Amino acid sequence: MLSLAPAQARDLPEIQRDGVLRHLGIPYAHFVASYQTVNGEVAQGLDVDLMRGFARHIGVEYQYVPATWHTVLGLLTGQAAQMIGERPVLGGPVAIEGDIIANGMTILPGREHLVAFSRPYFPSAVWLVARSDSEMQPIEPSGDTLRDIEAVKAVMAHRTVLAMKSSCLDPNLYQLDQTKAEVILPKQERLLNEMVPAILNRDAESTLLDVPDTLVALEKWPGEIKVIGPVSGMQEMGVAFRHNSPLLREAFNHYLAELIADGSFLKLAEKHFPTVFFFFPEFFEAL
């Protein structure tokens, strides 16, 4: 695999010279889904479509580079890093393997120290999802998200809640330590789309889950899980770049603006998440 030392900035001209855009992705909801074929790892999803289009736009080949939540920031910037809650923790140098992270990454203040985000392109939020046989009952919406969050946190008391560090489901992001919830962190590294199977497997009674994943799960396991209510307000997702690749980031923002202006971005979003407009109409209206 091609690897570069961290000191070598690889911005748009270098990428165009080498002729390949390397897309770092982690399988997640309908943003990135990857599977093995005889020809190697093949990826699909909203972000894969978006990155393929962007690669074509800047006139280079597209390459998918699989990553995990623990390694992805290092593979982009050349310095290992993880998020502990909202705080980035840096590690040693590692080889750079990608030019761009796109897998529905939530824009969090801590992450912005490590990477530069594109303009927001997708909305999200984190909800509490429980097994259908759980005694936890969905809250009655009050019309006010903050009050709904309080109500959900009250329901969590003395219940097991599955969460995952270093991701947007990090319990520290939502001050779960201030509730009486019993937070369970997976023993081994999981993908975000393995959270629901984990609670169906009785690893915990409920789990934190972001909205895109919840929408997928509700269709996949009808009648087996239920949404209790929100744990966060609306969040925004962005595509992440190295701080020293400003030209690449600018080119992407320009490309995204074109897609939004001619309506093809909304078509792309609807293709992968047909119901998302129902929950975040204000985000898409403001795009």
Closest approach, Cβ 130 to another protein, in A, equals 9
**What are the distances in angstroms from CA 165 to CA 183, 201, 267?**
11, 20, 33
Non-local CB neighbours of 37 within 8 Å, separated by 6+ positions: none
Nearer to another protein, 131 or 165 (CB): 131
Measure the CA angle with vertex 202, ends 159 and 44; round to 5°.
110
C-alpha 130/C-alpha 199 separation (Å) is 8
Closest approach, Cβ 153 to another protein, in A, equals 14
Nearer to another protein, 81 or 269 (CB): 269
Closest approach, Cβ 266 to another protein, in A, equals 16
Phi-psi region of 65 (alpha: psi -120 to 50; beta: other; left: phi over 0): beta
Residue 126 pairs in a beta bridge with 210
- Interface residues with another protein (CB under 8 A) are 127, 132, 137-141, 148, 214-215, 218-219, 222-223, 226-230, 274-275, 278-279
Selection from 101, 100, 106, 99 nearest residue 120 by Cα: 106
| DSSP track, 259-285 | HHHTTHHHHHHHHH-TTHHHH-HHHHH
Closest approach, Cβ 212 to another protein, in A, equals 11
Closest approach, Cβ 30 to another protein, in A, equals 13
Nearer to another protein, 34 or 214 (CB): 214
Nearer to another protein, 11 or 213 (CB): 213
CB atoms within 10 A of CB 140: 8
Nearer to another protein, 58 or 151 (CB): 151
Nearer to another protein, 92 or 143 (CB): 143
C-alpha 230/C-alpha 64 separation (Å) is 33
Closest approach, Cβ 224 to another protein, in A, equals 8
